Structure 1
C-alpha cells in the first residue's frame, strides 16, 4: 500500500503504527519523525498540491480537518476520486479512535488496537498521578498572538490541562478555538502562560513578546515568571506525541 499524509499529526500516527515501508509522501510541515524527512513533499498542509499527490500514485491519502482551511484539501481529494480518510479530532479521547480508524484503513488492525489501548492507559496513569495534587493552577494557552487564539472547552488542550491537574482559563467557552483579547486574558489572571504558536519554530519566539505586553504587567503568571515557551509539536498535534507534552507539562506546573 502506498500512503500519503497531508497533516503532521497524521504522519505521526502512521509512524507510531509502524507503516514505514508504506508512506511515500508527506506535507511540508511534517517535521517528525526524523527518519522520514527524506520523503517527497506535496506542499503546505493548508495548500496541498494535488498534482504532486496524484504523481505519487497513492492507494490512500490520510487527510485532516484539525486546522481551519483544510477543507479545500478534502474537497480536492473527493473531486479527483483519490482514496482517502479524514481525521478530525477535537478532544484527546478521539485520538485513540483516529488511531483505530487509520489501522482499519491500512490493514494494521492489531497494531492500532495495541497503540490505542496504550494511549488510553498512559492517560489514565498520568491522571492518577495528578489526582494527588490539591492545587489546580490556571493555564492560559496561546495558539496565536495577533489576533489571539486560544483553545476553548472543545479542544484537546483543555483535556491536557485537566489531566495534568490544572484548568484551562478559557474552558468556559463551548468551542474548540476562542478569538480572545489581551483584556480577556488579563481578567482570567492565569498562573501559567503556555505559548504554543502553531507552525512557528521555538527558536523564533522571544519571551519578551509575551512579558512586555502592558496589559499583562500585573498578571500572576508575568509577576511570578511563569511564561513557558513550549514545542508546539508536542501540544498542537493530535497524535500520540501529545502525551510526551502532557508529561512535560505536569513537571512544569507542579514542581
Structure 2
C-alpha cells in the first residue's frame, strides 16, 4: 500500500503544480502555488493584490506603496540596486520581477524561482495579469474578470471626454531627460483610447529619451508632466515657443497621481480618468 500512497501523493503534487513561461521564454515550474512572493516592480505587486493574493507578498521593491498593505512589507531595493541578501532571507517561493532588473541573473544563479514579467503596453498588462493568475494557481476566469474591469474603466473614462477635445495633441513626459511616453507605451495607448493624439511616435520606442528640440518642433497643445515643476519648462532652450507652455496648458501631476499614471496595472482606469480631467482643465495642479 505504501507504493499507492506515494503514487497518490505524486498525483496530488502534479495537480497543484504551476508552470508559467516568462519574458525570457523560460518555463518556470513551482511544485504548488506560491505562498511567499517577492515582487521587484510596483505594478507587479499591485497585480498580485488585484488578484486577491496580497497576503502572499513577503517583500516588495522600494517604490511599491499601493495598496496600503504593501507599505508595511520589507522593501528590498529597486531595478538597479536590489538587495540580494534581503531577498534570499525572505525565503520566497517565487520572485516576480521585470526582465530589465540587474538582479535577475544573480537570483537565478542562487537557485531562487524567478519569473520575469515586463508590462510596457496594454496588451502586456493583460498578458502579465493572466500570467500572475497562473502563478497564483487561480482559475483563468479570475484574471480575465480583473482585466475586463480595468479595460471597461478605461473605456468609461474615454466616453466622458467631450467630442470637442478629441484630437488634442499631447506631450507626456515621464521623467527628466526628457523621457517621454510614446504611442507604443501603455501610457500612449491609454491616451489614444481617451481620444488624445500623442506627438511622440511609437517608432521611437515606448519611453524614448528625446532631444528637447523635438518637442519644440512638435508644438503640442497640452503637456502632461509626471511629478514635475511646470515653471521649469520655460528655462529649457526654445520651449517658450511651445504653444502649451505659452498658454500654460500644462498638467503637473502630484507624486500620488504620477504613481497611478506610470504604473501599468490595475489602476490604469484611474490613470485614464486623470488624463481626461487634465484635457478638460479640471485637474488640480494644472497651470492656470
**Partner residue, 1:199:** none
User: 2:72 aligns to what SS in structure 1?
Assistant: coil
How many matched pairs?
A: 243
CA distance, structure 1, for counterparts of residue 57 and residue 93 of structure 2: 10
Q: Deviations over 1:147-186 (max 9, x none)?
A: 3111233211210110121011012534122221221101
Match of 2:170 in 1: 139
Q: TM-score, normalised by structure 1?
A: 0.87
Alpha-carbon distance in structure 2 between the residues aligned to 1:215 and 1:120: 39
In the TM superposition, 1:88-99 aligns within 5 A as 88-99=118-129
Give TM-score scaled by structure 2 length: 0.78
Q: Which protein is bigger by CA-based radius of gyration?
A: 2
For residues 114-146 of structure 1, give each alpha carbon's deviation from its aligned partner in whole angstroms, at most 9, with x where no partner exists. 21222223333344455845631111111222x
Match of 1:14 in 2: 48
The DSSP-based 3-state class of the residue aligned with 1:243 is helix
Does residue 159 of the first structure (1) align with residue 189 of the second (2)? yes
The equivalent residue for 2:94 is 60
Helix, strand or coil for the counterpart of 1:217? helix
User: Does the Cα contact within 8 Å between 2:150 and 2:267 map onto a contact in 1?
Assistant: no
Equivalent residue, structure 2, for 1:179 = 209
Q: d(CA) in 2 for partners of 1:112 and 1:131? A: 32
SS in 1 for 2:224: strand
1:38 Cα offset (Å):
1.1
2:234 aligned to 207, 211, 219, which one?
A: 211
Q: Is residue 121 of structure 2 the alignment partner of residue 118 of structure 1? A: no
- Give the Cα separation in 1 of the matches to 2:191 and 2:147: 20
Give yes or no for contact 1:192–1:226 (8 Å, CA) kept in 2: yes
Preserved CA contact (<8 Å) 1:186 1:216: yes
Structure 2 unaligned regions, length at least 5:
1-34, 282-288
Provide the rounded CA distance (Å) in 1 between the counterparts of 2:146 and 2:202. 32
- SS of equivalent residue, structure 1 residue 101: helix
